[in-house]
C-alpha cells in the first residue's frame, strides 16, 4: 500500500467512503485494476473462483491494513462483497465463468436493485414485475431506489415478482441485467451533502437473458437472503478502521480549535472511543467460527443497529466541535470531511434496514419473540 497508494493515486487516500463516493470514480476504477494486478481483490473468495482463499483472520488483517493506509472506498465492493459470493453459492457454472473473472479483474462493476419506493426496509414488498417471454428471457418493469453507484455500474442484480398474485417473499425471481440497454433509465438523487452517489432506476420492459436467473424462478427470496448474509462479513473490521480515522479527524478539529478542555465534548469523545472498541469486540465475536450454527449468528443481528447509531452520534459530535463553522459548506479539507460525515451519517439508521426494522429482527430472530403479541380477546 505504501508503494502503490502514491503518485497519481495519492489523491485517493481516505477518499470515496460513505458520503464521499463521488470522489474521482474513474481513478478509483483504475485503482481497482491496480489492486487486481497484485491479487488484492476478492481475497476471501476460494481460489477456484479467482480469489486468494484467505482465512478469516488474514482477510481481517487485509481489510484493517487497507483502511489504515487510507485505501479509497472500493468501487467494486458490491461485486466483490455481495453478488460475487452469491454467484459462488447459488450461480450456475456458466454464470460463474461469465461474471466472476470480471469482478476479480476490476473490469465490470455492479449495483444492487433491492429497495423500492414505499418499501425501503420492507424488502419483501416487491412491486417490480418480471414476465418470462417465449424465448425464456425476462422482461422487467418497475422502479428501484437508493441504488448506490448505479450511474457508474455495468450490471445490476434485481429482485422482482415473477408470479402474478403472489405476496410477500413468495413468487420472486433474482435476475442479472446489463444497465446499458433500452428500457433502463438511471436518475441521480441529490443528497443533503451535495452529492449524487445513489439513484433511482426505472425499468420499462428491460430484458434479462434466460441464462441470467440466479436460482429458480419463485425462489428469489432464498437467493436474496443468502446475499444479505454476505453483507455482514470481514470488511466490518475495515469499516471500523475508517471510523477510527474519522474519530481522529474529530479529535484533531477539537484540538485545533482549543476546545480540548471542554468537559462535555471530552466526555463524548471518550464515549465514541470506547464505543468503537465495543464494536470491534463484537465484530470479532461475530466472525469467530465455533461451528455452532449456519448462517448469521445472533451477534451479527445487533451489528448494524449498533454501528449506525454510533456513527450518527459521531457525525453530530463532529458538527458540534466545528460549531458555527459547520453551518456553511466549506472546501477546507479540515472542515468539509466532518460536514460530509454529519450529513451522510444521518442516513445510517435508515438505509440497509431502519432502526425499527433492525430491532424487530433482533427481537424475532435473536430473542425468539413472536411477531405479534396480542391480547387473548380483542374489542371490536
Cβ within 8 Å of residue 279, ≥6 positions away: 240, 243, 303, 306, 307, 310
Taking the C-alpha atoms of 188, 189, 191 and 194 in order, what is their torsion angle to the nearest 10 degrees? 40
Active-site residue (options: 34, 200, 231, 299): 231
Rounded to whole angstroms, how far apart are CA atoms 245 and 92?
A: 41
Enter the DSSP assignment of 16: S
Of 117, 188, 116, 114, whose CA–CA distance to 149 is shortest? 188
- What b/e readout covers 68-88, taking b as 16+ CB neighbours within 10 angstroms? eebbbbbbbbbbbbbbbbbbb
CA torsion through residues 90, 92, 97, 99, sign: negative
* Phi and psi torsions of 109, nearest 5°: -125, 150
CA torsion through residues 61, 67, 70, 73, sign: positive
Largest CA distance in the chain: 72
Residue in the structure block whose three cell numbers are 463532529: 318
Rounded to whole angstroms, how far apart are CA atoms 101 and 291?
A: 31
Q: Is 299 a catalytic residue?
A: no
Confirm if 300 and 366 have CB atoms less than 8 A apart. no
Write the burial class of residue 324 (CB in 10 Å: 0-12 exposed, 13-18 middle, 19+ buried): exposed
Angle between helices 235-256 and 298-322 (to 10 degrees): 20
The residues carrying an active-site annotation are: 231
Amino acid at each position: 500500500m505504501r508503494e502503490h497508494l502514491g503518485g497519481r493515486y495519492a489523491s485517493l487516500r481516505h477518499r470515496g467512503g460513505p458520503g464521499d463516493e463521488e470522489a474521482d470514480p474513474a481513478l478509483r476504477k483504475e485503482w481497482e485494476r491496480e489492486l487486481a494486478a497484485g491479487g488484492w481483490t476478492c481475497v476471501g473468495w476460494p481460489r477456484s473462483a479467482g480469489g486468494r482463499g484467505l482465512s478469516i483472520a488474514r482477510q481481517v488483517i487485509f481489510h484493517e491494513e487497507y483502511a489504515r493506509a487510507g485505501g479509497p472506498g472500493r468501487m467494486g465492493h458490491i461485486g466483490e462483497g455481495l453478488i460475487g459470493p452469491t454467484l459462488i453459492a447459488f450461480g450456475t457454472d456458466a454464470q460463474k465463468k461469465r461474471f466472476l473473472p470480471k469482478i476479480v479483474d476490476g473490469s465490470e462493476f455492479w449495483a444492487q436493485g433491492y429497495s423500492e419506493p414505499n418499501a425501503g426496509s420492507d424488502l419483501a414488498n416487491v412491486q417490480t414485475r418480471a414476465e418470462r417471454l417465449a424465448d425464456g428471457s425476462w422482461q422487467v418493469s418497475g422502479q428501484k431506489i437508493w441504488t448506490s453507484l448505479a450511474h457508474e455500474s455495468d450490471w445490476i442484480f434485481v429482485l422482482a415478482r415473477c408470479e402474478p398474485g403472489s405476496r410477500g417473499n413468495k413468487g420472486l425471481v433474482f435476475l442479472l441485467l446489463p444497465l446499458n440497454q433500452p428500457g433502463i433509465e438511471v436518475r441521480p438523487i441529490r443528497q443533503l451533502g451535495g452529492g449524487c452517489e445513489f439513484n433511482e432506476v426505472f425499468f420499462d420492459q428491460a430484458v434479462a437473458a434466460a441464462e441470467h436467473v440466479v436460482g429458480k424462478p419463485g425462489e428469489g427470496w432464498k437467493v436474496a437472503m443468502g446475499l444479505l448474509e454476505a453483507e455482514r462479513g470481514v470488511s466490518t473490521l475495515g469499516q471500523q478502521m475508517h471510523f477510527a480515522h474519522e474519530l481522529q479527524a474529530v479529535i484533531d478539529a477539537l484540538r485545533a480549535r482549543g476546545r480540548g478542555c471542554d468537559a462535555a465534548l471530552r466526555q463524548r469523545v471518550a464515549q465514541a472511543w470506547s464505543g468503537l472498541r465495543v464494536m470491534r469486540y463484537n465484530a470479532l465475536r461475530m466472525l469467530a467460527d465455533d461451528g455452532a450454527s449456519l448462517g448469521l449468528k445472533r451477534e451479527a443481528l445487533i451489528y448494524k443497529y449498533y454501528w449506525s447509531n454510533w456513527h450518527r452520534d459521531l457525525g453530530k459530535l463532529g458538527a458540534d466541535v466545528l460549531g458555527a463553522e459547520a453551518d456553511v459548506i466549506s472546501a477546507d479539507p479540515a472542515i468539509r470531511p466532518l460536514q460530509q460525515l454529519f450529513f451522510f451519517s444521518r442516513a445510517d439508521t435508515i438505509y440497509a434496514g431502519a432502526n425499527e426494522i433492525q430491532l424487530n429482527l433482533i427481537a424475532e430472530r435473536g430473542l425468539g419473540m413472536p411477531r405479534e403479541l396480542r391480547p387473548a380477546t380483542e374489542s371490536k
